[in-house]
Chains A and B, each alone.
Chain A
Amino acid sequence: MNAIALPIFIPFILIFVMVAVRNSRAAQLISVLGSTLLFVVSLYLFISLKDTKILTLNMGSWEAPFGISLVLDYFSGLMLVTASLIVLCLSVYTIYFMDDEHRNNMFYVFFFSLTMGVNGAFLTGDAFNLYVWFEVILISSFVLITLGNSKQQLEGGIKYLALNLIGSMFFLAGLGLLYGKTGTLNMAHLAHILRASEQPVLINTSAALFFMAFGIKAALFPLFFWLPASYHTANISVTSIFAGLLTKVGVYVLIRFFTLFFVQDQVFWLNLFLIIAGFTMVVGGMAASSHYDTRRILSYHIISQIGYMIMGLGIYTPLAIAGAIFFTIHNMIAKTNIFLVSGMINRSKGSFYLKDIGGLFKQSPILAILFILPAFALAGVPPLSGFFAKFILIKAGIEAGQYLIVAVAIATAMLTLYSMIKIWNEAFLKKAPESSEVEPYFKKPGFPELLPSVILGAASLLMGLFAATVFGYTMVAAEQLLVPTHYIESVLNGLNP
């Protein structure tokens, strides 16, 4: 299956092309075409999973575990499709919401290098290769967050950079220890060896290092500081990309690693995950409810939602993992969408600050609908995607007897609801404040500008209506994760070195 490598190589070609192309119109066109191609390829890959459940590609024809293998199972397939849908929507969105300055600054180069890194991280079956993709993501996001060079962005950029660099340092150290212990880097092979090995001496310390690394990336409770300090400073398109993709890569890897490798001393880790998940949810939710800037509310809200995904990992039943995956996908779509909408609100009203704006309901009912879709999805209103995401997690939690975390999850859902209603009330229902300076200028968004949000909103709705299908996939993914024999066998191809 050579096509597995395409989600990495397509963005790579696009990087090259974008370095060469200087005309911004052409760049837009190419980026839309390229990301459409990417989406189609991802979809094709996902569909072709049907027969074998797992697809592998040994890069350079070097058999696993000697070379680098790319592995596509249902988990990575779901993440890949979602990510490329988001990339597609954003490549349309940026046409309208990127100012010219940014476009001249080769925004698309960094956009696609980020895409490449994300796709690579989802696809790779090699631990060190994953580190490389993490670095690609990291450096691209550094550049993207400072794109524009305002003082705020530089400040946010430094914090973002510092904490994330520390994170990847932990990652590398953990990898070194893991390699020293096992002598291999192929993830399936690692899983094979670690499951067989009896002495968890170093495994736990590398697990601790990995936990720190991915905890920082995923913005977990005591490690999330970089996110609220930086996300709101960047251009809204950039923030949308980050909201949809970045922290979720961290979550993806956490789930991947802690189901595949670190199955020893599990009680400690799972309890830790539950505790941290609870704190992440509550702290994020509380912080979100106390702010009045849309971007800040939503940024803190990202953190709060990460807690749910980790909660799924901490409960560690097939249903819970499926719930975590479901939640991650739902959150990627809805979160990106709500950032897109808040960008449009800002475009229409000239401010992100809720106290300065209002009256949007009358001015643009379409915007209201577009806001309500992701907002209600995030708040968990049936039949949108978020309802099922939370339902599965709560069900899994109750069935596993983790009542405390379920209570926290429900309380956090109320915080989410509060934040969403706050934005709705203030931006849409309230009369526009008369004293505000930014009034009364209002720009009605045109249809092409709304299109990405329409697509993502429809995705949230469809994910809820056809929850059975999506849940079926996530369940398969969860089973593949929890019983990785098939994964190990497919990657190693029966080889047992």
Chain B
Amino acid sequence: MNSVILQVASKYVKWLLVVFALIALYRGHNFPGGGFIGGLLVGLSVIFSSLAYDAQRARNSLKIQPEGYIALGLLTIFLSILPGVFLKQYFMAGVWTSIHIPFLGVIKLGTPFLFDIGVFFAVIGVTLMSFFTFSNIMKWK
């Protein structure tokens, strides 16, 4: 599918999707969205661009390989589990802190948010990995 329109469109749509995804991730705790939706959206964006060009190219343009995303996601999830044990005596307990960021105001950050980020990365990795494998181009290192 090397249609020019699609290629041009994909460039924008792709970034649009990624931005959407990040917003979904960030706002997920308060508005529709969250790690799953965000991760799936990013995956969709990469798939979209590879439909426009080809999968190999889309893959090369990735900064982190799918398995990297998976590992990153699992690690983040694991890290989000720990603070609860040490600070609240329960696994997975939410630990919150608020920080003040200029222009955005007070933001509450907590381990559930970290957990959501982990899910986000893991889902990206999973989507990409299965997609690339289906596209039959993936090589292990």
Contact = CB atoms under 8 A, between A and B. Distances in A.
What's the interface size class on A, roughly? 10 to 19
A201 B74 CA distance: 43
A2 B85 contact: yes
B90 A59 contact: yes
Contacts of A360: none
A61 interface: yes
A257 B89 CA distance: 30
A15 B73 CA distance: 12
Contacts of B78: 9, 12-13, 16
Interface in B22-74: 67, 70-71, 74
Contacts of A2: 85, 89-91
Contacts of B93: 60-61
Nearest to B74: A16
A61 B71 contact: no
Interface in B66-122: 67, 70-71, 74-75, 78, 81, 84-85, 88-94
B84 A60 contact: yes
B90 A61 contact: yes
B97 to A, nearest CB: 16
Given A60-B93, A61-B90, A20 B71 contact: yes
Contact of B91 (A13, A19, A20, A57): A57
Contacts of A59: 90-92
B90 A16 contact: no
Tell me which of B74, B84, B141 has the highest count of chain A C-beta atoms within 10 A of its own C-beta: B74
What's the interface size class on B, roughly? 10 to 19
Contacts of B71: 16, 19-20
A58 interface: yes
A323 to B, nearest CB: 35
Nearest to B90: A61
B47 to A, nearest CB: 22
B81 A9 contact: yes
Interface string A15-26: 110011010000
A80 interface: no
A67 to B, nearest CB: 9
A5 B90 CA distance: 10
What is the predominant secondary structure among interface residues of chain B facing chain A?
helix
A16 B94 CA distance: 22
Interface in A34-71: 57-61
A299 to B, nearest CB: 31
A19 B74 contact: yes
A229 to B, nearest CB: 26
Interface string B10-24: 000000000000000
Nearest to A22: B141
Nearest to A68: B92
A2 B85 CA distance: 8
Contacts of A16: 71, 74-75, 78
A284 B92 CA distance: 44
Contacts of A5: 91-92
Contacts of B91: 2, 5, 9, 57, 59-60
Nearest to B70: A19
Nearest to B81: A9
Contact of B88 (A9, A13, A15, A61): A61
Contact of A60 (B74, B75, B94): B94
A66 to B, nearest CB: 13
B81 A58 contact: no
A61 B84 contact: yes
A102 to B, nearest CB: 15
B67 A19 contact: yes
Nearest to A60: B92
B90 A58 contact: yes
Nearest to B67: A19
A61 B111 CA distance: 13
Interface string A196-230: 00000000000000000000000000000000000
Nearest to A58: B90
B23 to A, nearest CB: 26
Contacts of A9: 78, 81, 91
Nearest to B89: A2
Contacts of A58: 90
Contacts of B67: 19
B79 to A, nearest CB: 11
Contacts of A60: 84, 90-94
A20 B73 CA distance: 12
A452 to B, nearest CB: 29
A20 B94 CA distance: 28
Interface in A387-425: none
Nearest to B73: A16
Tell me which of A2, A16, A60 has the highest count of chain B C-beta atoms within 10 A of its own C-beta: A60
27 contacts: A2-B85, A2-B89, A2-B91, A5-B91, A5-B92, A9-B91, A12-B78, A13-B78, A15-B74, A16-B74, A16-B75, A19-B70, A19-B74, A20-B71, A57-B90, A57-B91, A58-B90, A59-B91, A59-B92, A60-B91, A60-B92, A60-B93, A60-B94, A61-B88, A61-B90, A61-B93, A61-B94
Interface of B: 67, 70-71, 74-75, 78, 81, 84-85, 88-94, 141
Q: Lowest 4 CB-CB distances: which A-B pairs, in order?
A: A61-B90, A61-B93, A60-B92, A16-B74
Interface of A: 2, 5, 9, 12-13, 15-16, 19-20, 22, 57-61
Given A19-B70, A59-B90, A61-B89, 10 more contacts: A5-B91, A9-B81, A9-B91, A16-B74, A19-B67, A59-B92, A60-B91, A60-B93, A61-B84, A61-B90
